[in-house]
Amino acid sequence: MHCDLLKGKVALVTGGSKGIGKGMAQSLGRFGCNTVIVSRNLDEVQQVADEIKGFGVTSLACAADVTKKSQVQNVVDQVLNKFGRVDILVSNAGMNVRKPLLDLEENEWDKVINTNLKGVFLVGQAVGAVMVKQKSGKIINIASVAGIKGRPSLGAYCSSKGAVIQLTKVMALEWVDANVQVNAIAPSYIETPMTKDFISKKRDVILNRVPMRRLGTERDIDGALLLLSSHYSDFMTGQTIFVDGGSTAS
């Protein structure tokens, strides 16, 4: 999909080195955004940033752990230094530990909640402060179908994603007067480094839950991404769009 709707905007994508985040960073570059890619591995984000330059936009690779406030602030400082503003934030960095609750270690619970929830808070807070000041911005938090569906062995993950849907509403309400719209995208299964092992073992079980009987792809996210990043969503805030082949319809 090619589109000039976002030409010249500055977008920041956390977890942009692989999987869904990489797909969204590439799409934002293709849509004309100057794009900042963040993950903990500088070599990997640099590689995505270099690819995105091929779309004729400027890109920036930043290494940071989204669970560390000082590292998050350092990214925002680098972005302001280079671009002077942030128009679009995609808070996508996430992880999962798949274990029954009775076996889940405290540190595993903390890791999932810290990455998927505290990370969205810290990055949203640091970028939100910039957007409130500039009186414009679009924030897109990446939730999941698991944010509203209970799933065995996903106790921490489901809890974190349900909380992301709620946090999205609160961010939306607190920043509504500053012309900052905050929404979420909740995908169903997409094959990525996070999910490939589980999908290879349980493909049929997963597909049985999807009325369209297929996995999602990174490209399936583009429509919601473009809507929520652009002026076409200016009267939308606090919403979660499910991109799930009908999974949550029943």
- Tell me, residue by residue from 14 to 43, as one string, x for binding to ligand NDP by CB under 6 A and - for no binding: xx-xxxxx-----------------xxx--
Q: Which of 31, 157, 175, 242 is catalytic?
A: 157
Q: Does 180 sit near ligand NDP (CB under 6 A)?
A: no
Q: Is 157 a catalytic site residue?
A: yes
Contacting ligand NDP (CB under 6 A), which of 73, 78, 192, 248? Answer: 192
- Tokens (6 digits) for 198: 């589980």
Binding residues for ligand NDP, total number by CB under 6 A: 29
Interior/surface letters 90-107, b for 16+ CB within 10 angstroms, e for the rest? bbbbbebbbbeeeebeee
Q: Does 242 sit near ligand NDP (CB under 6 A)?
A: no
* Stretch binding ligand NDP (CB under 6 A), from 2-10, 12-20, 80-88, 170-178: 12-20
Query: Cα 40 to chain center, whole Å?
Result: 15
Alpha helices in the chain (DSSP H): 19-30, 42-53, 69-83, 106-113, 119-134, 155-174, 196-208, 222-229
- Tokens (6 digits) for 197: 């092992």
Cα gap 159→117, rounded to integer Å: 9
Region for 96 from its dihedrals, namely left if φ exceeds 0, alpha if ψ lies in -120 to 50, beta otherwise: beta
List, in order, residues 6 or more apart from 159 with CB less than 8 Å away. Answer: 113
Q: Does 94 sit near ligand NDP (CB under 6 A)?
A: yes
Closer to ligand NDP at the Cβ: 4 or 142? 142
* Stretch binding ligand NDP (CB under 6 A), from 64-72, 100-108, 166-174, 229-237: 64-72
Q: Does 193 sit near ligand NDP (CB under 6 A)?
A: yes
Q: Does 233 sit near ligand NDP (CB under 6 A)?
A: no
Contacting ligand NDP (CB under 6 A), which of 62, 142, 163, 224? Answer: 142
- Tokens (6 digits) for 149: 């569906």
| Residues annotated as catalytic (active site), given as ranges | 157
Q: Which residues bind ligand NDP (CB under 6 A)?
A: 14-15, 17-21, 39-41, 44, 65-67, 92-95, 115, 119, 142, 144, 187, 189-190, 192-195
